[in-house]
Copies of this chain bind each other. A is one copy, B any other.
Amino acid sequence: MNILITGGAGFLGARLARTILQKGELCGQAIQSLTLTDLFPAPADLLADPRVRSHAGPMLEQGDVFASGFDGVFHLASAVSGECEQDFDLGLRSNLDSTRVLLDGLRHAGNAPRMVFASSVAVYGPDASNPLPDLVGDDTLPSPQTSYGTHKLMLEYLVADYTRKGYIDGRAARLMTVTVRPGKPNGAASSFFSGIIREPLAGVESICPVDASVSHPVSSPGNTVHGLITVFEASREAMGGRLALNLPGLNVKVSDMLQALQDVAGVAVRDRVRFERNEQVAGIVNNWSRGSTAVRANGLGLRPDASFHAVIEQYIEDCKTRPGYPADALKGLAP
């Protein structure tokens, strides 16, 4: 199998790449090549694998790469929510236009490759005529409240139409908020969901911009990657249609997250989180899902993370063993 991951140099894309390389196959077929496209070159450990090819540059310029005959594609590349809010044109270009180039490349290759499109829980939101339910599900009518969520939703439907026409075998999976992300805060309004765990573990103070009562569906990086691979490997029948499905989320309150941090890492670590309301972030988060269900993904055998304790423990383990996690990531943890 010749596999493509867009956004393959990013945190999630690189983790997906490592998991696929280690697994060695998809759908029972050996991985011959794994191509990673991103704005940046892939991490060194991935480039060292003889199966890996890396193309750095804007997707808009990589139509020829996309048309080169992949058997399977994971489309993760995207401008994130904060970026799209700040630069409307960048969002349109990086999300809509770039995905059009990808889809047409795959279509023109002519081999109807299987494709997983990473959509997002950000497609959901409240509208005056459409209040947000307590839990958003596969059958909830989306009404995105950001350009990012709008683009993801539009592309879900475009992927479904390319699939209907037989140009690709596409599947759209809505990712829950992935936490704990390593590294620096990014442009996403959801960045603090990682920051309030990551920074205290590194010995750094962290500000939580929303109330402790805020609830949200989250998923660990490991569980998210497992979800993407499971959706890729599922038969068309098991997918149950062309509409997007939710990947499972663990529905947690900020207070639960901090309690888990205290349980796993101690009160001194937890006390590095300070609440300082940021009206802009709180306003955005107020329009987000408080929790989710994932009936169709459950049917594929997918489950949320067992607990937020397990999510934090995965992060600590990752810091100790995985590439891409800084050496001082656990500096705040008592030895």
A161-B147 in contact (CB<8A): yes
Other-chain contact of A129, B92, B167, B240 (Cβ < 8 Å): B240
Question: Chain B nearest CB: distance from A246 CB in Å?
Answer: 11
Cα distance A100–B141 in the bound complex, in angstroms: 24
A128-B164 in contact (CB<8A): no
Contact with B along A220-249 (1 / 0, CB 8 A): 000000000000000000011111010000
B157-A161 in contact (CB<8A): no
Contact with B along A263-302 (1 / 0, CB 8 A): 0000000000000000000000000000000001000000
Given contacts A141-B141, A143-B241, A157-B144, contact A296 B129 (CB under 8 A): yes
Cα distance A161–B122 in the bound complex, in angstroms: 13
Flag whether A47 is at the interface (Cβ < 8 A). Answer: no
Quick one: copies of this chain in the complex?
Answer: 2
Given contacts A141-B141, A154-B154, contact A129 B243 (CB under 8 A): yes
Question: Chain B nearest CB: distance from A131 CB in Å?
Answer: 10
A128-B165 in contact (CB<8A): no
CB-defined contacts of A328 to chain B, threshold 8 Å: none
State which residues 111-139 of A face B: CB under 8 Å.
127-130, 138-139
Contact with B along A82-101 (1 / 0, CB 8 A): 00000010001000000010
Flag whether A153 is at the interface (Cβ < 8 A). Answer: yes
CB-defined contacts of A153 to chain B, threshold 8 Å: 157
Cα distance A118–B242 in the bound complex, in angstroms: 25
CB-defined contacts of A161 to chain B, threshold 8 Å: 144, 147, 150
State which residues 19-37 of A face B: CB under 8 Å.
none
Flag whether A39 is at the interface (Cβ < 8 A). Answer: no
**Chain B residue, CB-CB nearest to A156:** B154
Flag whether A158 is at the interface (Cβ < 8 A). Answer: yes
With A129-B245, A141-B141 known, 17 other A-B pairs at CB within 8 A are A88-B167, A127-B241, A128-B239, A129-B139, A129-B243, A130-B139, A130-B241, A139-B141, A143-B241, A144-B157, A144-B160, A144-B161, A150-B158, A150-B160, A150-B161, A154-B154, A154-B158
Report the 6 A-B pairs with minimum CB-CB distance, sorted nearest first. A128-B241, A129-B241, A127-B241, A150-B161, A154-B154, A129-B240
